[in-house]
Amino acid sequence: MNSRIYFIVSLLTVITFVPDNRPVAAEKVKINLPPGIPAIADNQVNTKVINVTQLVEKLRTADVEERRKIIEQLSGTQENIVPALVQAMEDPDPLVKSAVAEVLGNLTDAAVPAIPALIEMMKSGQRAIVPSSYLISPYGYPVIASLPASGNTEERRIPSTPPENPENLLRITAIASLGKIGLPARISATPPLIQALQDPDPWVKLNATWALSEIGASTPLLAYWLEALQSSDPKLRNSAAEIFQDSRSLLRKVFGSEADANTAIPLLVALKDEDVTVRDVAGKGLELLGTKAIPGLIQGLKAPEPIVRLEAAKLLGNLGVTAQSAVPNLVVLLGDSGRYVPPNTNRNGLFLSSLPPLAIPYTPGRRQYPPAPDNPDKLVRINAAIALGKVGDRKAISALTNALKDNNPWMQLSTAWALLKLGQNQGLPVVGRLVQHPNSSIQREALSQIKGYGSQGATYLLPYYGAQLDSRDENKRNNAIIEIGQLGVRALDLVPKLRVILVGKQKNSSGYAATILGQIALDTAVAGQTGNLSPKQRKQAIAQFNKVLQIMEAPNARFNTQPRDRIRNALTRLRSIT
Mean pLDDT within 526-538: 93
pTM of the model: 0.79
**CA dist., res. 45 & res. 389, Å (int):** 70
Q: Are 445 and 382 in contact (CB under 8 A)?
A: no
**CA dist., res. 39 & res. 515, Å (int):** 64
Q: Which of 132-136, 193-197, 395-399 has the lowest mean pLDDT?
A: 132-136
Confidence bin at 50 (pLDDT 50/70/90): low
Question: Residue 557 has what pLDDT?
Answer: 84
Sign of CA dihedral 545, 548, 552, 554: positive
DSSP line for 496-544 = HHHHHHHTSS-HHHHHHHHHHHHHHHHHHHHHHHTT-S-HHHHHHHHHH
Q: pLDDT tens for residues 439-468? A: 999 999 999 999 899 889 999 999 999 999
Confidence bin at 71 (pLDDT 50/70/90): very high
Q: pLDDT tens for residues 305-315? A: 999 999 999 99
**CA dist., res. 245 & res. 332, Å (int):** 33
- β-strand partners of 169: 127
Is the pLDDT score of 366 beyond 70?
A: no
Q: Over pLDDT 90: what percentage of the chain?
A: 76
Residue 459, H or E segment: helix 458-468
Higher-pLDDT residue of 162 and 555 is: 162
Question: Residue 257 has what pLDDT?
Answer: 96
Pairing of strands 30-31, 50-51: antiparallel
Helix boundaries (H) for 89-169:
94-106, 115-121
Mean pLDDT within 200-211: 98
* Mean of all residue pLDDT scores within the chain: 85
Q: Over pLDDT 70: what percentage of the chain?
A: 83
Q: pLDDT tens for residues 214-247? A: 999 999 999 999 999 999 999 999 999 999 999 9
How many Cβ atoms sit within 10 Å of the Cβ of residue 538? 18
3-state SS class at 351: strand
- Give the residue among 59, 131, 51 at the shortest CA–CA distance from 89: 59
Helix boundaries (H) for 276-435:
276-289, 294-300, 306-318, 327-332, 380-391, 397-403, 409-421, 428-434
Is the pLDDT score of 55 beyond 50?
A: yes
Question: Residue 490 has what pLDDT?
Answer: 92
- β-strand partners of 379: 339
Question: Residue 370 has what pLDDT?
Answer: 85
Q: What is the largest CA-CA distance in the chain?
A: 112
Strand ranges in 19-84 using DSSP code E only, listed in sequence order: 30-31, 50-51
**CA dist., res. 368 & res. 274, Å (int):** 38
